[in-house]
């Protein structure tokens, strides 16, 4: 594995870093406090190719690889996790699935708008009663004699749901077939039969706008089917593999921001006549934070590299996501502890990093699901 980055990858990383430092980080506290969706910043990311990093240029994207995606995601997440959540959904969950399974017409209509930042995309799999157990979904798509589908049901925890123009939806079209009865659809939220429910009052990533969505006799055309009928579960699982690389990158960005803030603090903060960074207990925490951060980054780059080689990367993505998310939670916890009372205060961003880190252990597959994926891949047992 080559540990050097190409000039193009580094250029994209630099663009992401500048936007994160100059636009995103300064507004992060406001968006976290108000929950206001950062539309202007998201459009800026789109204008600079960051909403469709792996999307080919002919569909409005940057035409780059998974490594570039990781590098850019880390920078944006270090500026603010909520922005990187929106970026991850658009890149990994929305564009990726359409590029892999969509028709040429679907790529032109849906991918271009998202990649260029002129519209927001969303991914609708989770329901109020089915999270990790996706096959228990109740959302139904009933095929009609004319080839259309009538969709009814509710989805929950839809990131960017309040503002999304297009959504990749998964619904049960043949309930008696279980996982093989799930079909993916492209949804236009301007169409009749689509509604938005309550916005979730979240612990962290508050500006990413999450809500329930409802379908009441929504009519999907035959050309709105993504892939083939009955392939929805396979599509969802493949998309989530890619999404896990994005969330691992997000976790690294959050952890890095907390770590860098802590490094500065331990040099400046004095106690008992010395900088607290000279205390052995503090030094042990710093060393462990650095080790976990680097391990998470290298495992995530490995997963991205394997994906870029066109090989199966499910296990590598699960390992990266599990390691990075738990590292982020541990590092932000230690950062708050080292900062003491100031770490607990909203006057500093440490408590926001701590709140934001938690979600990385939950979405795109909980830590428990990642362990299940890894163990099954390793043992071959189901």
Catalytic machinery residues: 364
Rounded Cα distance, 98 and 120, in Å: 14
- Residue 187's Cβ-side half-sphere holds a number of Cα atoms within 13 Å equal to 36
Q: How far is CA 3 from CA 6, 35, 40, 47, 374, in A?
A: 10, 38, 35, 29, 25
Q: Tell me, what DSSP letter sits at residue 95?
A: I
| Residues 334, 335, 338, 344, Cα dihedral to 10° | -110
Strand partners, 127: 130
Tokens coding 44: 């800026």
Residues 6 or more apart in contact with residue 343 via CB below 8 angstroms: 335, 336, 337, 350, 351, 354
* Concatenated DSSP letters of 218-264: EEEPGGGEESSTT-HHHHHHHHHHHHHHHHHHHHHHHHHHHHHHHHH
Q: Torsion angle of alpha carbons 284, 290, 292, 294, nearest 10°?
A: -160
Asked if residue 1 lies in contact with residue 305, where contact means CB atoms within 8 angstroms, the answer is yes
Nearest to 199 by CA among 188, 212, 190: 212
Query: Closest Cα to residue 53, out of 42, 63, 44?
Result: 63
User: 251 is written with which tokens?
Assistant: 């976790």
Instruction: Of 118, 115, 98, 94, give the one whose Cα is nearest residue 107.
Output: 98
Rounded to whole angstroms, how far apart are CA atoms 237 and 257?
A: 30
């Amino acid at each position: 594995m080559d540990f050097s980055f190409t000039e193009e990858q580094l250029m994209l990383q630099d663009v992401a870093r500048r936007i994160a430092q100059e636009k995103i980080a300064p507004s992060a506290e406001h968006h976290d406090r108000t929950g206001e969706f950062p539309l202007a910043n998201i459009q800026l990311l789109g204008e600079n190719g960051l909403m469709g990093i792996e999307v080919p240029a002919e569909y409005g994207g940057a035409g780059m690889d998974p490594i570039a995606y990781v590098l850019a995601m880390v920078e944006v997440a270090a500026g603010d996790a909520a922005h990187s959540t929106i970026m991850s959904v658009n890149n990994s969950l929305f564009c990726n699935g359409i590029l892999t399974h969509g028709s040429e017409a679907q790529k032109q209509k849906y991918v271009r708008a998202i990649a260029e930042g002129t519209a927001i995309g969303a991914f609708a799999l989770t329901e109020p009663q089915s999270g990790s157990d996706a096959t228990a979904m109740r959302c139904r798509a009933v095929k009609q004699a004319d080839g259309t589908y009538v969709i009814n049901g509710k989805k929950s925890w839809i990131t960017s749901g309040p503002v999304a123009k297009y959504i990749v939806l998964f619904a049960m079209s043949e309930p008696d077939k279980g996982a093989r009865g799930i079909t993916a659809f492209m949804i236009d939220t301007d169409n009749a039969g689509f509604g938005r429910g309550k916005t979730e009052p979240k612990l962290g990533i508050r500006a990413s706008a999450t809500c329930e969505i409802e379908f009441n006799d929504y009519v999907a055309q035959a050309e709105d089917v993504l892939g083939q009928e009955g392939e929805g579960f396979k599509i969802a699982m493949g998309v989530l593999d890619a999404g896990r690389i994005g969330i691992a990158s997000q976790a690294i960005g959050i952890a890095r921001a907390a770590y860098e803030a802590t490094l500065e603090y331990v040099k400046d903060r004095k106690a008992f006549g010395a900088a607290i960074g000279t205390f052995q207990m503090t030094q042990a925490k710093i060393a462990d934070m650095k080790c976990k951060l680097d391990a998470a980054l290298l495992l995530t780059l490995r997963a991205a590299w394997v994906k870029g080689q066109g090989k199966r990367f499910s296990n590598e993505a699960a390992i990266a996501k599990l390691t990075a998310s738990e590292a982020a939670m541990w590092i932000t916890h230690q950062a708050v502890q080292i900062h003491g009372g100031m770490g607990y205060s909203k006057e500093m961003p440490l408590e926001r990093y701590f709140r934001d880190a938690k979600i990385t252990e939950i979405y795109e597959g909980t830590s428990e699901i990642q362990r299940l994926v890894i163990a099954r891949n390793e043992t071959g047992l189901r």
